[in-house]
Structure 1
Amino acid sequence: MPKRKNSSIKEYKLKSGAKRYYFKISLGINSYGKRIVTTRRGFKSYAEAEEAFNQLSTKKADDFVKQKQITVDELFTLYFKTYKANTKEVSALSQNSQYKNHIKPFFGGRYIDQITTLEIQQWANKLAHEIVEARRNISFLENMYEYARKNNMIESNPVSKIIKPKYKKPSSFHNGENVYTEKELTDFLNTAKEVSPIIFTYFKLLASTGLRKSEALALKWEDIDLDKKTINVNKTISYGPNYKIITHAPKTKASIRTIPFSDTLKNVLIKYRDNYSTSSKIVFANRRGAYFDTARPGLWLKRVYKKNTDLPHITPHGFRHTFATLLIENTNIKPKTVQMLLGHATISMTLNLYTHINENNFADANQAFKNIGF
């Protein structure tokens, strides 16, 4: 056996009798005049301990990061203060819930420097196949670790080293797409009309205007001009403190807009107002005359799908997508006009819709090329 040259590495025994190795090393004096000395133990072999010793010996005192100084839960508490101060309250509440459901159960009590890249990769792979919002949670954990790195709690960010997995596409969507054809939309609305006037009117509104679900829930009758056939979109609803429903301005200036609507929708709104609406100023009010919460449209959808099990499933946001898709497919409308109607902040968001439609019409394009000899 070759002679072990590093006298700083010592051998000791566990209660079980198993051999382990440890060492103590001085990294010098840091900028604050403090001598940095650290002890590492638990190595199963001399070679393993020597490798760790050699790596540490190259570090400067100012670069030293103490092991096991903070858990993921503790890091979240620190980072969340900064995150909350720089985002909307509803986003902060949502992210807090996401952390508790999808990050904390896996890593909450673990020390941040003891979690390996492989463990994070396995967690990310699992999450990407289970939930649609996996990307959001993986990015949040990466930002937490980056905060820790910049504050000298860890040497590097292990989340940035993983291979970002392909993310889950909701399998319940019709043909994998969150959108209806014109016939499917007609079938859905016919069923919704049988289920409830408020459900029918709500989804008819979404499919006829492209409103976001929370924009529609926030509407008051004063926002709708039935004579001019316009809707003034100036607010949205979300959860506030203690999960109380609040209204506030939309996320972007582009979301504040006035949009037109058809005679068909006008007649639907008048019938709903005169025959079914409550005395509340809110268009879609609950029995107390207050706003519905943002989960309500999803529950309404379930009632319609229970009534007609043959209907393909889409989300409330799918009706906004359906509106844009049918508009682009059946008219010569310009992208800028679609941007205005949907309240997109940038034209690139709108052009992505056009790209989607063009991909769906790939076969038509091929046939057109054949017809003109290209």
Structure 2
Amino acid sequence: MAALYKRKLEERTVYRVVGKSVSGKRKEKTFRSRSEAKKCLASLIRAEERGENWVEQKSFLELANEYMQASAVGRDGKRPLEISTLHAYKHYLDAFILPMIGDIPIGDLNRDKLIELIILLKGKCKSVKTAEHALNLVKAILNWGVDRDLISKHCARNLSVQPNTRGPKKTPGTFSDDEMRRIYASLRCLCTYGSQRDIDRWRAYAPLVLLLATTGVRISEALGLRWEDFSEDYSHVSISRRVDTLRRGMTQEDRVGDLKTTNSYRRLAIVPELRELLVFKLRTSQSPWVFASKSGYPKHYHSVRNHCWVPLLEHAGVDHRGFHSLRHYVASSVMLEGKYLEAFKMLGHHTASFTMTQYGHVIDDGSDRFSEISNDLLDKFREQRSEAVL
């Protein structure tokens, strides 16, 4: 039977939880906090009641597999994760995490092992952001183990992949006003000159580019639009779904999913020129999807990128950036006009503070007015001091 013992070491007190392994060998863990020790003791007692013991703790691989299975059907009453998310999680596990810590019992995952994992992630992942996502998955799996009383605590809570060095915030890649003018001029040119086949193709893509450049919607949200999402006069559109990239094991129906957050569901205005393009496109459309492939399903991201976006940027003589740069351009333009709430609403972020964090760097920091502000404060202080003397 597991037991808790109190012990004094020089000037501090520690608490030991003692149990037995399968072979009857004594095994113990030491805690500085009595509450943490009691949690561990309670967890071991429940494990003993289930017929388990200290050594029979699950390996991280076993816990990760259970976590993935539960996520696919919906963990703890939540809705199932998107197939694309599960696909990304599986890649993180197979490529980075499991080869390093998969065989280790979850109760034996110490800080040193996790720091080794972080070093591995920094070396193997393409970016710090990818490494951070992988570490967050490890934390989520271990948190799930804590919630299920499989372990009392874990050492990954305060660990991070991000470097401690500080510097100016990295500006998201976006286009300048001049580059946007060149892109728009090239789009008009391609929709006007050339063979009739090329003109028709570019006229089919033009509404998508203009929609992204004037509303800031994500490419996945744009590809998920149906004709029913527009108002009768095409002056507004409701963003209510997204379409993912087709991956192995997915059907066309699996590509369609819910938006990221409640705030992602929003109603946006359509500029007059875009309305005309949409009405023209509707005349020849035979699919309920606005941007449909020949099969009638939503177009694929890579198809749009290769047949529209990359050729358009080459024609405009603009350095290549992804579709998301159009979203950054919209956000920066709106924020520069001082319309912070409008930017938050248009972009569909989960919080306004996230919008400010992402794009606050484009706002005038007011440094030119600091001297004026300081002088104003001094004048107020002088006035108050004069009144006090009188």
Query: Which digits, 9 at most, give the CA deviation of each residue in 1:296-315, with x for residues without a partner?
Result: 55556773488369634433
Q: Percent identical across equivalent pairs?
A: 17
Contact 1:192 1:304 in 2 (8 A): no
Using the size of structure 2 for normalisation, the TM-score is: 0.65
Contact in 1 for aligned 2:109/2:154 (Cα 8 Å): no
Q: Give the equivalent residue in structure 2 for 1:265.
A: 274
Amino acid at match of 1:148: G
The structural deviation recorded for 1:63 is 6.4
Contact 1:210 1:320 in 2 (8 A): yes
Deviations 1:36-59 (A, max 9, x none): 356699xxxxxxx9xx88969xx9
Q: What CA distance in whole angstroms lies between the structure 2 residues aligned with 1:40 and 1:176?
A: 59
Q: 1: CA distance between counterparts of 2:140 and 2:93? A: 13
What amino acid maps onto 2:71 in structure 1? Y
Cα deviation, 1:170-189, whole Å, max 9, x if unaligned, reads xxxxx852322222223344
Aligned counterpart, 1:104: 98
Structure 1 residue 231 corresponds to structure 2 residue 237: yes
CA-to-aligned-CA distance 1:107-157 (integer Å, 9 cap, x gap): 334443455423322332443462333222211101212333454544641
Aligned AA (1:77): N
- Identify which of 166, 181, 188 aligns with 2:176: 181
User: How far is the alpha carbon of 1:241 from its aligned partner?
Assistant: 10
Task: Say which SS state the counterpart of residue 126 (structure 2) adopts.
Answer: coil
Q: Give how far 1:252 is off.
A: 3.4
Does 2:131 align with 1:134? yes
Following the alignment from structure 1 to structure 2, what is the Cα–Cα distance between the partners of residues 106 and 309?
47
1:245 aligns to 2:252 (yes or no): yes
**In structure 2, C-alpha distance between the alignment counterparts of 1:372 and 1:145, rounded to whole Å:** 50
- Mapping 1:5-44, distance limit 5 Å: 36-37=20-21
Gapped regions of structure 2 (runs ≥ 5): 5-18, 32-36, 45-52, 165-169, 191-197, 376-390
Q: Is the 8 A contact 1:234 1:249 kept in 2?
A: yes
Q: Could you list the runs of 5+ residues in structure 1 that have no partner in the other structure?
A: 1-25, 30-34, 42-48, 168-174
The residue number in structure 2 matching 1:144 is 141
Aligned amino acid, residue 214 of structure 1 = S
Q: CA deviation at 1:290?
A: 0.8
Shift of 1:332: 4.9
Name the CA shift for 1:302/1:270 in 2 (closer, same or farther; >3 Å): closer
* CA 143–216 in structure 1, closer or farther in 2 if over 3 Å, else same: same
Within 5 A, what are the aligned runs for 1:1-374? Answer: 36-37=20-21, 66-67=54-55, 69-84=57-72, 85=74, 86-90=78-82, 91-128=85-122, 130-131=126-127, 132-151=129-148, 153-154=150-151, 156-160=153-157, 162-166=159-163, 176-190=171-185, 194=190, 197=202, 198-225=204-231, 227-238=233-244, 242-246=249-253, 247-273=256-282, 278-294=285-301, 296=303, 299=306, 303-304=310-311, 307=314, 311-329=318-336, 331-333=337-339, 335-352=340-357, 355-358=360-363, 361-362=364-365, 365-367=366-368
Contact 1:224-1:232 within 8 A present in 2 as well: yes
Partner-residue secondary structure (3-state), 2:156: helix
Show CA shifts across 1:2-31 (max 9, x none): xxxxxxxxxxxxxxxxxxxxxxxx9679xx
Could you say what secondary structure the match of 1:242 adopts? coil
Letter in 1 for 2:126: E
Per the TM alignment, residue 230 of structure 1 is displaced from its structure 2 partner at its CA by 1.4
Q: Shift in Å at residue 75 of structure 1? A: 0.9
For the Cα contact (< 8 Å) 1:233–1:258, is it kept in 2? Answer: yes
Cα deviation code 1:314-367 (max 9, x no counterpart)? 3323322211211232x453x333333223343333444562322xx34xx444
Q: Deviations over 1:229-282 (max 9, x none)?
A: 2112222223799322333443433333321121232344345555xx653231
Q: Distance in 2 between matches of 1:54 and 1:111?
A: 14
TM-score where L is the length of structure 1:
0.67
Hey, what's the Cα distance between the residues in 1 that align with 2:29 and 2:270? Answer: 72
